[in-house]
Every structure is written in structure tokens, then in C-alpha cells.
């Protein structure tokens, strides 16, 4: 397993104020925002349960460091990041030195992503009880196995819809009870219906970024 905490680095800038929709991706990001005035701020995004709208202020530059699912962020010195906010390499070094990915947690969320039939099935694949899996993920991610299962399933389903269009079979291929169940999950996580999702390039392109 790759022992690096950072999965990807992204940048964004804005000349004018705009709103950006961010879909749930199973990752937390360390984000540094630089303002035209010279002010710099840093924060860590939460694990989103639904698509959110973020206000991007004018004349700002954003750099985000997407962390692997389950990465422990408690050791990050946020004020320390602001000591060298313009050096991406320095920020990467500081983040990598103060974070860690628990091997058991990474294995668990990876198994859920690959074998997302049910929590019980995933626990069996890992050789642990569902209760042990629950405790592990609650302790290290503050989220339940069900959260990771539903997220992996809905992201897979959405990518399948993008690649092959809205088909009745997609619901069953992605282990939903029926098409209505699939539509409810798409709506809950992404805020739009399956057909509307396919019209939202700002959402669908995020499905193929490096994440969970």
C-alpha cells in the first residue's frame, strides 16, 4: 500500500465571486486560500454526506491537498502551514510529516469499495465481525461502514450512468433494490436526479478525480 497521505493536489483561482458545488468523495482536503490582500488562511474540509455549495470569493487562489480516505489529520499544525503558504513542496512536506494512514482502516475502506454488497459481506472478506469493523471505522474516520458502503455504491453508480447512460439495469448492477432506490440515493448524495446529474458537467467531472 502507498504510505503517502496525499492522494492529489489541486488548484483553483477566481477573478470574480462564484459558487462551486462539491460532491462527497470520501476524502478530506487540507486547503490553503490566498487572498489578494496578502491574507492567507488554511482549513481542513469535513467528510461530506451530501453535495454542498462553496462560495469562492473574488481574487483568491486555492490550493488543496486531497488526503487518502481514513487519513488521521489530528497532528496537522494549521498555523505552521501558513509559514510557507506559497510553496507547494513545503506544504506537502509539512502535511506528509504530520499525518498518517492507518493500514487497517485503509484496508477496510478499500474492501468496502471493492466488495460493496453489504457490510456483513465486507466484514467477512476482512475476517472480522461487523461490530469490529464498525468500531474501527468509527474510531478512525468518524463514519460508519454503512456510510462508506453507500458512498462507494453511489459513486460507482454515478460513474456508470455517465459512461453508459440511464439504463434500468444500472440499479441492479450497482446492488440497489430497484431503480427507485437508485434514484433516491443519487438525489440524496448529489442533490439531483440521475438524468439531471448527466447534464451537470461540474458534478460529473468530479466523479473521475482521484478520490474514494
Task: State the average pLDDT over residues 22-48.
Answer: 96
Please name the fold of domain 6-101. Immunoglobulin-like (2.60.40)
Q: Is 2's pLDDT higher than 80? A: no
pLDDT of residue 14: 87
pLDDT at 108 over 60: yes
Give start-end residues of each CATH 2.60.40 domain in the chain. Answer: 6-101
Looking at residues 38-44, what average pLDDT do you find? 94
Each residue's pLDDT tens digit, 112-156: 999 888 999 999 999 999 999 999 999 999 999 999 999 999 999
Residues 6+ apart with CB under 8 A from 167: none
Length of the chain: 212
pLDDT at 89 over 70: yes
Rounded to an integer, the average pLDDT of 170-176 is: 94
Band (pLDDT 50/70/90 cuts) for residue 83 is: confident
Q: What is the CATH number of domain 103-208?
A: 1.10.10.60
Whole-model pTM: value is 0.93
Where along the chain do the CATH 1.10.10.60 domains lie? Answer: 103-208
Amino acid at each position: 500500500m502507498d504510505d503517502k497521505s496525499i492522494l492529489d493536489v489541486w488548484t483553483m483561482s477566481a477573478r470574480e465571486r462564484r459558487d462551486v458545488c462539491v460532491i462527497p468523495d470520501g476524502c478530506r482536503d487540507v486547503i490553503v486560500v490566498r487572498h489578494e490582500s496578502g491574507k492567507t488562511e488554511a482549513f481542513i474540509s469535513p467528510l461530506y454526506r451530501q453535495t454542498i455549495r462553496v462560495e469562492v470569493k473574488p481574487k483568491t487562489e486555492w490550493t488543496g491537498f486531497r488526503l487518502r480516505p481514513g487519513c488521521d489529520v489530528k497532528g496537522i499544525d494549521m498555523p505552521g502551514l501558513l509559514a510557507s503558504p506559497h510553496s507547494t513542496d513545503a506544504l506537502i512536506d509539512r502535511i506528509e510529516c504530520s499525518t498518517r494512514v492507518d493500514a487497517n482502516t485503509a484496508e477496510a475502506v478499500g474492501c468496502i469499495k471493492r466488495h460493496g454488497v453489504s457490510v456483513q459481506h465486507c466484514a467477512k472478506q476482512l475476517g472480522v465481525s461487523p461490530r469490529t469493523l464498525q468500531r474501527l471505522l468509527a474510531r478512525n474516520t468518524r463514519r460508519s461502514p454503512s456510510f462508506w458502503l453507500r458512498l462507494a455504491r453511489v459513486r460507482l453508480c454515478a460513474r456508470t450512468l455517465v459512461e453508459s447512460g440511464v439504463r434500468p439495469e444500472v440499479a441492479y448492477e450497482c446492488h440497489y433494490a430497484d431503480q427507485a432506490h437508485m434514484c433516491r440515493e443519487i438525489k440524496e448524495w448529489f442533490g439531483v436526479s440521475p438524468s439531471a446529474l448527466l447534464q451537470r458537467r461540474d458534478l460529473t467531472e468530479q466523479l473521475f478525480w482521484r478520490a474514494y
